[in-house]
Structure 1
Amino acid sequence: MPIFYPDILDQKTAPRTFTYGDKDVMLYALGVGMGRDPMNETELPFVYEKGLKVIPTAATVLASAGGRPARGADLVEQKPGHRASVINFLMVVHGEQKVELHKPLPTSGTFTAQGRTVGAFDKGKDKGAVIINETVWTDEAGEKVATLTGSTFARGDGGFGGPSDGQPEPHEIPSRKADLSVDIETREDQALLYRLNGDRNPLHSDPESAKRSGFPRPILHGLCTYGITCRAVLQAITGYDPDQILSHQARFSAPVFPGDTITVDLWKDANVISFEARVAARGATVIKNGKTVLRS
C-alpha cells in the first residue's frame, strides 16, 4: 500500500500494555556486552539482580513497539475519510534512534506504549521516503516514563507527494579532536545473543539470508551498536550511573560485524556528550551525529 499524505500524520498505534522484569533488563545488558568479565564489579550490577541497574537504551527493546513504525494491524481508526498508509517493510532501513527518559527506568514494571507518525518526507519516486515515528511510555499512574523517536528510510515508498524538506537537523559533532575514546570489543556470537531481546530478523543470524542481502555474513543489529555507544558513555562519563542520562540519540551509518572492535569517540561540553563510533580495522564510521544529554 502507498503512503497517503497528510493522512499518515494522523496514524497512531493502539495503546498496548506490557510488563518487563529483571530477566529482560539483564538480557539486554548481556546483549550489548556487559558482564563479559564476571569479576568486573562496575558492570556486574547490570547483569546481576543484586543492586540491579538498567541501561537507558534498553527502552528500545523492553517494549517491542518502541520506536518502530505503525503497522496495519496496530492502527487505531483513521479520521473519517483518511486512508491508512503501510510502507514496504522489506525495503526499510533504520535511520536514527533517540531515547528520552522522563524518569530513570525501573528494573521492572507495567507500562502502556502508544506510537504515532510525526513526520513523512518524500525523497522522490526512485529515492525513497523518511518516516519519523514516536512512541510514548506511560506508567500505571499515567505519568510519562520514556519517549522513543525513530526514523525509517523507506527505500520503496518515495513519490507520495509529501514535503522533501524540513527533517530535523542532525546533531553537529565538535570539530576538535575527541576528548576521549573507548574501545569495545564485540563477540563473534553477539548477534545471536542480542536477537533474544526480540529482533529475530535472519539477517543477524542466518548466513544465507545475509548473503541475499549483500553481506558476507550476518551483521550486528543496529540497535545493539546503539546500545554499545550508550555503554561507552556510562563507562567513560557517568561512572556507570545510568540515572545521569536524560537522552541518547544517534544516526546509523554503516553495519558492524560481530567480532568487530568498536571505537567510540566522545566530546564533553557541559551536560552534552557528542559521540561517533567507528570500526578502525575496516575504516568504517558506523554511528554518526551521536548526542547524549545528562541530567542537570
Structure 2
Amino acid sequence: MNLQKVLDHRFKPIEHVLHARDCMLYAAGIGLGARPEHPGDLQFLYERELKVFPSFVNVIAHPGGWVQAPELEVDWVRLLHGEQSFEMHRPLQSGKTYVGTFEVTDVIDKGVGKGALILMRKTLREAGVDEPVSTVTSTYFLRGDGGCGGTTDTAPTPHALPDRSPDGTCVLATLPQAALIYRLSGDYNPIHADPGMARKAGFERPILHGLCTLGVATRAIVQAVCEDQPERLKSFQLRFSAPVYPGETIATDYWLDGPVVSFRSRVLERDLVVLNNGRAELFLPSH
C-alpha cells in the first residue's frame, strides 16, 4: 500500500436515484417477505406507501472497487470487511435522489505481517440538501499491507456485550438463493455466485455478502425490538467475524439497556458467531 496516495485519494460524489423497484429488491435480498402477509414485511415490498429499509444506506451510492487502482498499491485480493456502522438522521425515501461523498478517515498499521486497517466514512445527502440523511463508516482489513505506515496506531475499541444472558433471540432463516438475489443490489463479486471462484478464495461454496448478513441482523432488531417500526432505529454497528453460507439460519441474541441494544448473530447449523460486538441505538417512543 502507498499510504500517501491512499490518504490523498479523492472520491467523486456518487448520485443514486432511489427507484421503488431497487428498494423492494434490496428488501427481498435480505429476506424480507418471509412473512408474506405481515405488514411488517409488506411495508418494504409493496409499492403502496412503500418504506425503505434503513440498512439500504450501506449499499446505495457505493464507491465500488476503488482500492484496486494500481497507483494505490493495495493488496486488495486479501482485503476483508472488518466492521460497519450507520447512523440514520432521517429515513430514506423512494423516488428521491441521494448523493454519497467519501473520505478515508484513518489508516492503522498493525505491523509487518499483521496487516493494516483502512477506516472510511460515507456521508449521504438528498440531492440539493446540505443536511445529511445518513453517516456510514466502514473498516477494511488489508491482510497484506502491514508495515506501510498509518495515521494512528490506535484502533477503535469494539462495543462490549453485557455479561448476562440475552434478553431475547430472533431467529431468521436465509434462502439457498439469497446471495444470488442480494447481488442484484450492486455487489457482483463472483465469490457470492461462482462456486469455482469461491473455492479459490478458500470457501467450500459461494458465501453470503457481509452486508447482506448485516441486513438480516438489522431485520432482527427492527422486528424483535422496534416492533417493525424502522423509524425507531437511530444507529447500528457491528464487527464481522465469520462468513455465512446461503441457506443457513441466523440467530441474533440481544440485550436491552434503555435505548441501547447490544447484539451478536450466530449461525445455528455450525454454532458459529458471524457478527459480534453489535450495538444499536433506538429513538425511544414518545408517550
TM-score bracket for this pair, using the shorter chain length: over 0.9
Corresponding residue for 2:31? 33
Paired residue for 1:137, among 124, 130, 135?
A: 124
Q: Does 1:114 align with 2:101?
A: yes
Equivalent positions of 1:143-222 (< 5 A) are 143-162=131-150, 165-222=153-210
Q: Distance in 1 between matches of 2:95 and 2:143?
A: 37
Query: 2:100, 2:124 within 8 Å by CA — same for their partners in 1?
Result: yes
How far has the Cα of 1:211 moved from its partner?
Answer: 0.9
Paired residue for 1:276, among 252, 259, 264?
A: 264
Distance 1:20 1:36, change over 3 A: same
Corresponding residue for 1:100? 87
How far has the Cα of 1:9 moved from its partner?
Answer: 3.8
Larger displacement relative to structure 2 (87-96 or 192-201): 87-96
Paired residue for 2:17, among 7, 13, 19?
A: 19
Q: Deviations over 1:234-279 (max 9, x none)?
A: 1101111111111111100001011101000011111111110001
Corresponding residue for 2:223? 235
Letter in 2 for 1:91: R
Letter in 2 for 1:31: G
Q: Distance in 2 between matches of 1:70 and 1:272?
A: 34
State the SS of the aligned residue for 2:40.
coil
- Equivalent pairs: percent with the same residue? 40
Corresponding residue for 1:223? 211
Q: Distance in 2 between matches of 1:174 and 1:195?
A: 34
TM-score relative to the length of structure 2? 0.93
Query: 1:10, 1:116 within 8 Å by CA — same for their partners in 2?
Result: no
Unmatched 5+ stretches in structure 2: none
Letter in 2 for 1:108: G
Letter in 2 for 1:152: Y
State the SS of the aligned residue for 2:231.
helix
Q: Distance in 2 between matches of 1:113 and 1:18?
A: 8
Unmatched 5+ stretches in structure 1: 74-83
RMSD: 1.7
Q: Deviations over 1:68-120 (max 9, x none)?
A: 675477xxxxxxxxxx7452221100000111111122223112211000010
How far has the Cα of 1:40 moved from its partner?
Answer: 2.3
How far has the Cα of 1:61 moved from its partner?
Answer: 1.4
Q: Distance in 1 between matches of 2:72 and 2:120?
A: 13
Aligned residues: 282
Q: Distance in 2 between matches of 1:86 and 1:239?
A: 47
Letter in 2 for 1:106: Q
Corresponding residue for 1:4? 3
Q: Deviations over 1:43-81 (max 9, x none)?
A: 11111111212211111112223xx675477xxxxxxxx
State the SS of the aligned residue for 1:147.
strand
Q: Distance in 1 between matches of 2:231 and 2:2?
A: 39
Q: Distance in 2 between matches of 1:290 and 1:221?
A: 18
State the SS of the aligned residue for 1:208.
helix
Letter in 1 for 2:111: G
Query: 1:192, 1:204 within 8 Å by CA — same for their partners in 2?
Result: yes
State the SS of the aligned residue for 1:42.
helix
Q: Distance in 2 between matches of 1:237 and 1:157?
A: 40
Letter in 1 for 2:115: G
